[in-house]
Structure 1
Amino acid sequence: MREAFFHSYISCWEWSTSVLEEVGATKTLQLPHIRQDPNRRSPYSYPLMTLDDCRVADFLEFETFDNYCYAMFTFYQLIGQTSRENEVNLAVRSPRFLEAVASKDDVFLIEDIHCVKFRRDRFEEKVMTRWDEMQLRIFRRKDGVLK
């Protein structure tokens, strides 16, 4: 719950970690005993918030369509690494995923409580159309200020 996380420079985890850091849920760790490439961010992060803290936190300042596209692109990477044939592996998701995410987004098709499909056609239309137009692909506050 409060242990360091190592994303191993695997892009789906690296991108997810960048979102968590921007919203203040995690912080990048610089470990003095590990030689770090000065041109890359540390692959280690530390949670600043518990999952319960995140559930009650106010993230309204991050609610933009560009941030949604960034987060969904990141999630799409994760699905590619943890699921088969556009079926979301619910065993590796939060128990709240079905109600809090899948039921509220038409990118997901709920076939039953045990089977959620990722609708790639809708993802391409809704997310990737905007993604391709974005000049700057970063997750940031509505005011554009980065931490």
Structure 2
Amino acid sequence: MREAFDHMYISCWEWSISVLEEVGATKPLYPPTMLRFTKRDTNSATPGPYSYPAMTLDECQLADFSEFETFDNYCYAMFTFYQLIQQTSGLSGEVNLEVRSPRFLETVASKDDIFLIEGMHCVKFKNDRFEEKVMAHWRREMPVRTFRRKDRA
């Protein structure tokens, strides 16, 4: 629950970690041995590949993330999730929620019309609706594609 994670600069994990770091659910990790080999630039926008959880899933569920509730952030998060699914689920594009997240079906997928519920434990993106709702906004109205607090939006 509190183990370090290395996204290995794989884009789907790197983008996901950027969201989690912005909301405070994870923190960058700079192992002391790594500092000898990498120069840490505190002004750099590009963090290293290591992070660790700053919250458990239960703590995340109780946390107030309302300062991140913008349509741009929704599109960023859904694009990131779509990217994760495309790069980790194989050809089916299906997500097995028993393995990934038992809470996702009830708290996200059942409330958002971009998802197609395939069964008790599997969801897919409705590609037409995803394109219309998320990607149209992403392409036309999001020149700055970052996940950020409302006050910085």
TM-score computed with the length of structure 1 as normaliser: 0.90
Matching residue's letter, 1:95: P
Aligned to 1:92: 99
What is the aligned-residue identity percentage?
A: 72
Matching residue's letter, 2:4: A
**Are the aligned partners of 1:86 and 1:119 in contact in 2 as well (CA < 8 Å)?**
no
Aligned to 2:53: 47
The answer to whether the aligner puts 1:30 opposite 2:30 as a matched pair is: yes
Aligned to 1:56: 62
CA apart distance, 1:28:
0.6
Matching residue's letter, 1:138: T
State which drifts further: 88-97 or 104-113. 88-97
Q: Which residues of structure 2 form unaligned runs of 5+?
A: none
> 3-state SS of the aligned residue for 1:128?
helix
**Are the aligned partners of 1:63 and 1:142 in contact in 2 as well (CA < 8 Å)?**
yes
**Residue pairs, 1:11-30, within 5 angstroms:** 11-30=11-30
Which of the numbers 77, 81, 87 marks the counterpart of 2:87? 81
CA apart distance, 1:90:
2.5
Q: CA RMSD in A?
A: 1.7
Normalized per residue, which structure has more helix?
A: 2
CA apart distance, 1:72:
0.4
Take 1:135 and 1:108, find their aligned partners in 2: how far apart are those partners? Answer: 25
Matching residue's letter, 1:125: E
TM-score computed with the length of structure 2 as normaliser: 0.87
Take 1:127 and 1:76, find their aligned partners in 2: how far apart are those partners? Answer: 10
Which of the numbers 107, 120, 125 marks the counterpart of 1:113? 120
Q: Which residues of structure 1 form unaligned runs of 5+?
A: none
State which drifts further: 40-49 or 79-88. 79-88
